[in-house]
């Protein structure tokens, strides 16, 4: 399993690629439209997600969900404001989601507030993939909170837009490589990197 994760994630860590480019090689494309309409109840029936989360502010730390793709297990790439990236395992994501779910039930999470500002990491993770991380029973209970539903819809819509933009960039990179090959020229280093190729040493 570790070898599989490394083979999928490594191009993003060295090239700063979006998550959709990582999944392109696995044939998991074209599913962004349904992501924008995911509900917590329906998410509970899904196996998991690949998430791309980006830090948007400090003191307090705030985050946004850039991309969200169906996957066999739930994992995430977390990108800080300096562009550094790290992998969050499913266990790490579950712990963060469970802590935040308890805050939602206690009414202390921003997810229970209308028109709240930037969301913290746990809030972003819970709203983006609640059903896959905390189980259907708790997820369905949280679905009864209208403010939580509103935040979840906003996060999923933002991720769906990010999916479409990343897929558009991916197609453009493939088209550029195809044109270069047809012309008998080698693709540029930037094109090879965008397609997951190795950098020349």
What digits encode the pLDDT tens for the residues 151-182?
888 888 878 888 887 777 777 777 777 777 77
What digits encode the pLDDT tens for the residues 9-27?
434 433 444 444 444 444 4
Cα distances (angstroms) measured from residue 57 to each of 62, 102, 144: 5, 24, 29
The whole-model pTM stands at: 0.61
CA–CA gap between residue 147 and residue 103 (Å, rounded) = 14
* DSSP letter (8 states) at residue 119: B
Q: Which residue has the higher pLDDT, 197 or 73?
A: 73
């Amino acid at each position: 399993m570790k070898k599989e994760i490394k083979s999928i994630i490594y191009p993003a860590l060295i090239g700063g690629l979006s998550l959709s480019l990582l999944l392109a090689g696995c044939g998991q494309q074209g599913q962004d439209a349904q992501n924008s309409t995911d509900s917590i109840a329906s998410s509970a029936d899904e196996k998991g997600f690949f998430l791309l989360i980006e830090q948007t502010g400090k003191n307090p730390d705030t985050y946004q969900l850039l991309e969200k793709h169906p996957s066999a297990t739930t994992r995430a790439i977390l990108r800080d404001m300096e562009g550094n990236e790290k992998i969050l395992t499913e266990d790490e994501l579950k712990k963060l989601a469970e802590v935040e779910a308890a805050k939602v039930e206690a009414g202390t999470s921003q997810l229970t507030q209308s028109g709240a500002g930037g969301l913290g990491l746990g809030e972003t993770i819970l709203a983006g993939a609640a059903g896959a991380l905390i189980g259907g029973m708790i997820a369905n209970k949280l679905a009864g909170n209208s403010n939580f539903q509103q935040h979840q819809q906003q996060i999923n819509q933002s991720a769906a837009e990010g999916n479409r933009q990343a897929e558009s960039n991916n197609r453009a990179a493939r088209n550029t490589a195809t044109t270069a090959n047809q012309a008998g020229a080698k693709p540029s280093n930037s094109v090879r990197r965008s397609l997951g190729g190795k950098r020349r040493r």
